[in-house]
A and B are shown apart, each in its own frame.
Chain A
């Protein structure tokens, strides 16, 4: 291993932790917001469906890079709200992740047929109970594989936070290059780290998939 990388290993490690933390945070927040928006997409009320649709289409159509700029510079320009790089990056990643998660969740909920609703409602369940005991447990199985994809995409998108000066893994690599002038090895290591993490997530997803798979 190159001595440069060995010397700055701590910086890379810290950047890696930051990347994991911010993408994990965005996935959790994006999952929660995506669940609300995705459920709203299946609402019987047209206005609710429409609001959810606008949210999804808006944030998945704008390039994440512009959302990072928007969260950091744009918001301050328009409203005077000054967000830290961390908050702006989390915000941008969350809206992107939630717009994709809402589609995943909508598709999952809709994969559970009308017949299951009929059966559960006929047994006297309330909408909330049908969702909790009948629809969600079946939908999760369908949602899981694409959710893993969304998480991996979110983790990669977090590298864009480097443009607003947030020191995650990519920015850590850029800083090391600036300091040492070594490019290739540094970015090779950074790329390898992304691969290892994302491959790990992929494998974890496969394990979860087996766990949620009921006899069908």
Chain B
């Protein structure tokens, strides 16, 4: 985490972004949606996350890239308390996140999670996938939830598929239902764990378009992805992770065009030219 040069992140670099590239370093203290300090996570003897410090301000779209096995997915799972942690702390909207605590449920209600493999509930229609948690977890009335679900299906451009079952949907459609399911809880943070990695190339675009719409609305998003085009044009900030550490944290254009760390350079050249 040597990269602290706020001045590098000039406004001029944001012409290709859909919004002003919010410099990474403006998320300070109380107004941060998410604040992670010295996070350590181990699986057995292996340290997967080795001292992660990260702050995410409201409205930021933070894109996380890095070689596989560097703890990107684990980081997301720690943030919503699916994994217990071995050091440091995670504060979501000022509340500490601790797996297996009573409070973790409150945190999860405010974080929408989108998985690589969709993980829709196969025994429920797409529509019921979206309405279940708001009704059962938030206790909202059916009519309110169903009205919101209908508008969400329009938003993800699937109003004609709302009553299909997950197995009747293509991967891209399933992932858009999964996004609608996450949005139905009105989350203040959306986390995407390689949302397009399991998709056929021709459906990747449908999902990315929806994600771009969400970014444009000003949603706070944490996106683990290998889609460099999305990172460049939609991301307000980009993080390169390697071996459980944040190696570089910068505006996407800077990180992609002028990576400072040799490992970032090596990674980017391997995926862009490999």
Measured CB to CB, the residues of A under 8 A from B are 115-116, 118-126, 129, 133-134, 137-138, 141, 214-216
Q: Name 14 interchain pairs, CB-CB below 8 A, sorted by A.
A: A116-B119, A118-B82, A119-B113, A119-B120, A119-B121, A121-B82, A121-B108, A123-B113, A123-B133, A125-B133, A125-B137, A126-B105, A129-B136, A214-B123
CB pair A214 B119 closer than 8 Å = no
B80 at the interface (CB under 8 A from A): yes
Most buried by A among B80, B121, B165, B167: B121
Cβ A124 vs Cβ B105 within 8 A: yes
Distance to closest chain B CB from A44 (angstroms):
9
Q: Which residues of B contact A119 (CB under 8 A)?
A: 113, 115, 119-121
B179 lies within 8 A of chain A by Cβ: no
Hey, which chain B residues are within 8 Å of A134, CB to CB? 121
Complex Cα distance A214/B168, Å?
Answer: 11
Q: Is B132 an interface residue (CB 8 A)?
A: yes
Compute how far the CA of A215 lies from the CA of B126 in the bound complex, rounded to whole angstroms: 12
Residues of A within 8 Å of B108, CB to CB, are 121-124
Most buried by B among A118, A122, A125: A122
B105–A122 CB distance below 8 A: no
Pick from A118, A122, A216: contact of B111, CB below 8 A: A122
Smallest Cβ distance from A51 to chain B, in angstroms?
A: 22
Cβ–Cβ contact A138 & B123, under 8 A:
yes
CB nearest to B168 among chain A residues: A215
Please indicate the chain A residues that have their CB under 8 angstroms from the CB of B106 in the complex.
Answer: 124
B22 to chain A, nearest CB (A): 26
Contact with A along B114-130 (1 / 0, CB 8 A): 01010111110000000
| Distance, CA A137 to CA B128, complexed state (A) | 14
Q: Mark B79-119, 1 if CB is under 8 A from A, else 0.
A: 01010000000000000000000000110110101010101
Contacts of B132 in A (CB 8 A): 123, 133
Min CB distance A140 to B, Å, is 9
A124 touches B121 (CB 8 A): no
Chain A residues with CB below 8 A from B119, complex form: 115-116, 118-119
In the bound assembly, the distance between CA atoms of A194 and B219 in angstroms comes to 65
Closest to A134 in B: B121
- The distance in angstroms between the C-alpha atoms of A96 and B264, with both chains bound, is 62
User: Helix, strand, loop or mixed for chain A's interface?
Assistant: helix
Q: Tell whether B185 is near chain A: CB-to-CB under 8 Å.
A: yes
Number of A-B contacts (CB under 8 A): 63
Complex CA distance for A124 and B121, rounded to whole angstroms? 15
A85 to nearest B CB, angstroms? 43
Q: Are A123 and B168 in contact (CB under 8 A)?
A: no
A137 proximity list for chain B (CB < 8 A): 123
Contact A123 B181 (CB under 8 A): yes
**Residues of A close to B111: CB separation below 8 A:** 122
Q: Knowing A124-B108, A138-B122, A216-B122 touch, does A129 contact B115 (C-beta < 8 A)?
A: no
Residues of A within 8 A of B77 (CB): 118
Chain B residues with CB under 8 A of A120: 121, 133
| CB atoms of A215 and B165 under 8 A apart | yes
Q: What's the nearest-Cβ distance from chain B to residue A144, in Å?
A: 13
In the complex, what distance in Å separates the CA atom of A119 from the CA atom of B130? 12
Q: B115 to A118, Cβ gap below 8 A? A: yes
Residues of chain B with a CB closer than 8 A to A116's CB: 119, 121
* Alpha-carbon gap, A164 to B29, bound state (A): 76
Do A214 and B117 contact each other (CB < 8 Å), given the known contacts A123-B185, A124-B137? no
A122 and B113 alpha carbons, distance in the complex (Å): 6
Closest residue of chain B to A126 (Cβ to Cβ) is B105
B80 touches A122 (CB 8 A): yes
User: A216 near B133 (CB under 8 angstroms)?
Assistant: no
Give Cα distance in the complex from A137 to B181, angstroms.
Answer: 19
State the CA gap A122–B182 with chains docked (Å).
9
CB distance from B98 to the nearest CB of A (A): 14
- Residues on B with beta carbons closer than 8 Å to the beta carbon of A133: 132, 136
Q: How far is it, in angstroms, between the C-alpha of A126 and the C-alpha of B119 when the chains are bound?
A: 17
- Quick one: given A122-B108, A123-B181, A215-B167, are A129 and B122 in contact (CB under 8 Å)? no
Assess whether A129 is in contact with B137, with CB atoms less than 8 Å apart. yes
In the complex the two chains form, what is the Cα distance from A215 to B124 in whole Å? 9
Q: From A123, which residue of chain B is reached at the shortest CB distance?
A: B133
Q: How distant is B114 from chain A, measured CB to nearest CB, in Å? A: 9
Q: A125-B136, A216-B122 are in contact. List 5 more A-B contacts (CB 8 A).
A: A115-B119, A116-B121, A123-B109, A123-B185, A125-B133
